[in-house]
Structure 1
Amino acid sequence: MTDQVVEQGAARLLSSAARLSRDPMTEIDWEAGQDDRYGLSPEWSTLYGTSYWDELSEEKRRELTRHEAASVASTGIWFELILQQMILRDVYSTDPASSEFQWALTEVADECRHSIMFARTTGKLGAAVYRPSMLTRELGRLFKTLAYGESAYAAILVAEEVLDVMQRDWMRDPRVLPLVRQVNNIHVVEESRHMMFARDETRDALAGAGPVRRWTSALVVSIAASVIVNAMVSPAVYANVGLDSARAVREAAGNEHHRALLRSSCAGLMEFLGSAGLLTKAAVRVYRRVGLI
């Protein structure tokens, strides 16, 4: 991709941001009380479709989904912090007068607002504090330090696309808390620009890449995807809701309904990765193990 094309693309994204950027601090009524609706669409609960879900009372199901929503939001904050650091590193020496530089800072500003928005949402859900495991956090630290080019941007795309499909369902579902629906709506609108940017950067980085680099990058991205998806809902959710944690983890791991939802949510993503040459046999094995294919 030529510098001129990069500049034109960044200028379009800047224009879109100027017209469509949202401010969750002013658009959301953070002082409004919360009713007794779900934290996410019940079909997206990790236990929906299992025998354990059938045993839960309606009240316990709602409580579970609120904790799951808080965990997903916390995982979003963790990955957005990684994303921000990678973007800032990527444009560290870029001409500040360029649209490319200014768009990068605009995306970082968007992600900062999103992280604050998710943080406030977790507090309003009344759930416990959730964080990825120590191992996952350290892997994230290593990834944000070493990943570059297509490895960084395709991994960003995986996280954003998986969350995007979930949130599109939740924001349209009247059974879900109005606060969560508002938050998801804001995030979906703004992330559409970020996903476009990540796809362009991935294609650009892969231009002229040889088979060894593509194979390595494909494997790195698939492993990153596996870590991200596995970190979405903390096992601590089940204990905090008062469930049998060992049984809940076991049934969630074998929940074919949830895996089918993940596969359908990733269909467009996998099509893109395939077109970019990032769906090698080794990568497909990883995606299949985590339920994305």
Structure 2
Amino acid sequence: MNTATRNPLEAVAINAGDPFCLSEQKHENIRKLVQASHRSFMDVDGVLPWQDGIDLSLPPKADNTSWIYGTPYWDALGESERRELLWKETARDVSMFIWLEQTLPPLYVGYVNTYHERLSPEIYEYLMIFPKEEIIHTLMFRRYMKLAGLNLFAPPSGPYAALLAKLPTLHPAIGILWTLTIEWAAELVAMSSTQDEGIEPLTRKMFHAHHVEEIRHITFGRRIVEGFFNSASHEDQAIVREQFRPVLNNFINLLTFNPEIAAHLSFPFPADVNNPDVVRSIRTSPNNAMLNARRFKEQRDWFVELGLSQ
């Protein structure tokens, strides 16, 4: 993302009367999300059987979803090393949710404070519900990390992270697209790897409980972004598409394999993470290509439909 001087995204116009410009059908979708959120909501103490603890002898995710499964680097590891690797990969996934979900509340409440007189009642209310739920998710994930004895990974970096500081000043649909991209992709990764039989029970339950609310967040984001591409000028749509595509590619690469994993293991990582060719070979391994084609299909199809990906 080009952040020098003036970001091209700053030129995207915000409608003076209604920053979101949704159809009545999309407004009705959001009213239903509000109702669902009030009917079913999470509390940190009751959402999981914390008293059962976490069994670190069990895998937190399926072996074949490891970042290096199907490569010589996986074959070089013993059973205990593979198990530790799976737990540290899960720590990265949980860390990503934590960093995103504690960043999101000030952004969305900021939209409420900035545009409150121009928001429909249901968008206003969901922009308040959304961060409330994300705060609870963050507390749940942090409790899980502490109980499992896992350390946080560093906050995300790269083009999409560089954009974060600018989001409050940009069109709100851009901020919602940014959070949707990360949240949706991370959710697809988590749910595709943790819901099989034999997965550590509390881990599996946690990701499923998170998914119940997260699917509403994803639906909200999709309706908002679709509204933007249904109402914005062709010029503004082109700017968003041009700026977004490299962000998406960079993020999927980092989701597929994060070299920071080497610093979290008690044993030497079997690949040279400082060698770009090695990192690239892991990210493009046949197993990762198959995983990404399957787990990101729904998201990628939607991005293609909106012209955000090719």
TM-score strictly above 0.5: yes
Among 46, 51, 56, the residue aligned to 1:26: 46
1:234 and 1:266, CA in 2 relative to 1: closer, same or farther beyond 3 A?
A: closer
Residue of structure 2 aligned with 1:243, choices 253, 264, 268: 268
Tell me the equivalent position of 2:300: 270
Q: Provide the residue aligned with 1:151 in structure 2.
A: 174
2:196 equivalent to 1:176:
no
Give unmatched runs, 5+ long, in structure 1: 285-293
Change (3 A) 1:3 1:273: closer
**Which structure 2 residues correspond to residues 10-159 of structure 1 after superposition, within 5 A?**
10-35=30-55, 36-92=57-113, 93-95=115-117, 98-132=121-155, 139-159=162-182
- Rounded to whole Å, the distance in 1 between the matches of 2:271 and 2:92 is 18
Cα distance between partner residues in 2 of 1:246 and 1:181: 29
**Number of equivalences:** 280
1:163 alignment partner, one of 180, 186, 206 = 186
Residues 234, 132 of structure 1: alpha-carbon distance in 2 compared, 3 angstrom cutoff: farther
Alignment-derived partner of residue 291 in structure 1: none
Q: Which moved more, 1:112-121 or 1:92-101?
A: 92-101
For residues 28 and 46 of structure 2, what CA distance do their matches in structure 1 show?
Answer: 31
Note the C-alpha offset of 1:117: 1.4
Range moving further from structure 2, 253-262 or 47-56: 253-262
1:195-216 Cα offsets, whole Å, 9 max, x none, are: 1111110011122333332222
Residues 22, 203 of structure 1: CA spacing in aligned structure 2 closer, same or farther, 3 A cutoff? Answer: same
Cα distance change, pair 46–136 in 1 and its aligned pair in 2 (3 A): same
Secondary structure of the corresponding residue to residue 199 of structure 2: coil
Contact 1:114 1:187 in 2 (8 A): yes
User: Which residue pairs with 1:253 in the alignment?
Assistant: 283
Cα distance in 2 for partners of 1:127, 1:214 equals: 41
SS of 1:127's equivalent? coil
CA shift in 2, pair 1:6/1:138, >3 Å: closer
CA distance in 1, matches of 2:42, 2:137: 10
Stretches of 4+ moved more than 6 A in 1? none
What secondary structure, in the 3-state scheme, does the structure 2 residue paired with 1:200 have? helix
Letter in 1 for 2:84: E
Superposed CA deviations along residues 3-33 of structure 1, whole A, max 9, x for unmatched, are 8556533321111112232224212122323
C-alpha RMSD of the superposition? 2.7
The C-alpha deviation readout for 1:148-203, integer Å capped at 9, x for no partner, is: 34432233232232222222233421232112111100111111111111111001
TM-score w.r.t. length of structure 1: 0.83
Task: Measure, in 2, the Cα distance between the counterparts of 1:137 and 1:9.
Answer: 28
Contact 2:116 2:124 in 1 (8 A): yes
Q: Secondary structure at the match of 1:156?
A: helix
Q: 1:107, CA displacement in angstroms?
A: 0.8
In 2, Cα distance between the equivalents of 1:78 and 1:205? 26
User: Residues of 2 paired with 1:21 and 1:44: CA distance?
Assistant: 30
Using the TM superposition, give the Cα deviation of residue 135 of structure 1 relative to its aligned residue in structure 2, in angstroms: 5.8
Structure 2: how far apart are the matches of 1:125 and 1:248? Answer: 26
Query: Which stretch of structure 1 is more off in the superposition, 196-205 or 1-10?
Result: 1-10
Fraction of identical pairs, as percent:
20
- Given the superposition, is the C-alpha separation of residues 237 and 67 from structure 1 closer, same or farther in structure 2, using an over 3 Å criterion? same
